[in-house]
Amino acid sequence: MSSDDVWGEETAAVYDEEAADMFAPQVVDPAVDFLADLAGSGPALEFAIGTGRIGIPLRHRGIPVTGIELSEPMVSRLRAKVSEEDLPVAIGDMATTRVEGQFTLVYLVWNSISNVTSQRRQVECFRNAAHHMVPGGRFVIELFVPPLRRLPPGQIAVPFDVSPAHTGFDTFDTAIQECVSHHYTRLPDGTLRYDAGHFRYIWAAECDLMAELAGLELEKRVEDWEGTPFDGDSDKHISVRRKPNPAPKDEQIQSTVTR
């Protein structure tokens, strides 16, 4: 299943409403504060911008934002909120799609890199971010820590939401690092709708190696947008990576002579 299968017309039509808790100010504002501080005067590039949950309020802070998004239905929802002139979006795969310009900040939030379901293409996401960054620019990823410690021996499922309107659980194949999120949503007429999304989960250390392959350096890692220290009990991380400034020419010459 591709990301476009997950975020089709039916999903996009109800996305903002069903993910309303993630659009709440107490969730969005700390993320925008964190990203705005790193962007400075911008510009910023968001991979998997979706319906603009983060990109639009960041744009309202005066930071020019460009997006890349695979799902045209999701961008149609974004266009009902903001024009192409104010927030341009390229339709395409965030692992390979290129846009014009260089950015002080590239960011990828709410576990979206896991929508890319092969390790090779996840590495290409890091490389694509690096391609778009100015020297000294940052790449920020928000990503969950796989909750495998919660799996009883012999079990493959972990619930993440049990409420009157929705039941959700993840199943894990630890041999190939695949996660399937299962959603059972109760509709107004009392019937149930089932949706499933396929993801490839990544460990924080694996992200570090992917970043190194893309020429990026880890600057800091925290648990959340408020800056809580990351530790072994954290269920997610915000990782900031920096594109190094090129070495001065005299240092490059010295390095060549030394080799």
What's the N-to-C CA distance of the chain in angstroms? 48
How many C-beta atoms lie closer than 10 Å to residue 259's C-beta? 5
Q: What was the pLDDT predicted at 250?
A: 57
Q: In CATH, what is the architecture of 3-145+203-246?
A: 3-Layer(aba) Sandwich (3.40)
What is the pLDDT, as a whole number, of residue 124? 97
Domain boundaries for CATH 3.40.50.150 within the chain: 3-145+203-246
Among 219, 244, 47, 238, CA closest to 128: 47
Which pLDDT score, from 0 to 100, does residue 254 have?
55
Q: Where in the chain are all domains bearing CATH 2.20.25?
A: 147-200
Distance from C-alpha of 51 to C-alpha of 54, rounded to nearest angstrom:
9
Quote the CA–CA distance of 178 and 198 in Å, as a whole number: 7
Question: 199 phi and psi, to 5 degrees?
Answer: -140, 160
**Local structure of 230: helix, strand or coil:** coil
| Residue 239 in tokens | 């990782």
User: Under 8 Å CB-to-CB from 186, ≥6 apart: which residues?
Assistant: 164, 165, 166, 192
At 247 the pLDDT is 66
pLDDT tens, N- to C-terminus, the chain (259 residues): 344 456 788 888 888 988 899 999 999 999 999 999 999 988 999 999 999 999 999 999 999 999 999 999 999 999 999 999 999 999 999 999 999 999 999 999 999 999 999 999 999 999 999 999 999 999 999 999 998 888 888 888 989 899 998 999 999 999 999 999 999 999 889 899 898 889 999 999 999 999 999 999 999 999 999 999 999 999 999 999 999 988 666 555 454 455 5
CA distance 259 to 249: 16
Dmax (CA) of the chain: 75
Domain range 147-200, CATH class: mainly beta
Does this model's pTM top 0.85? yes
Q: What is residue 4's predicted lDDT score, i.e. its pLDDT?
A: 45
User: In this structure, what DSSP letter does residue 101 have?
Assistant: S
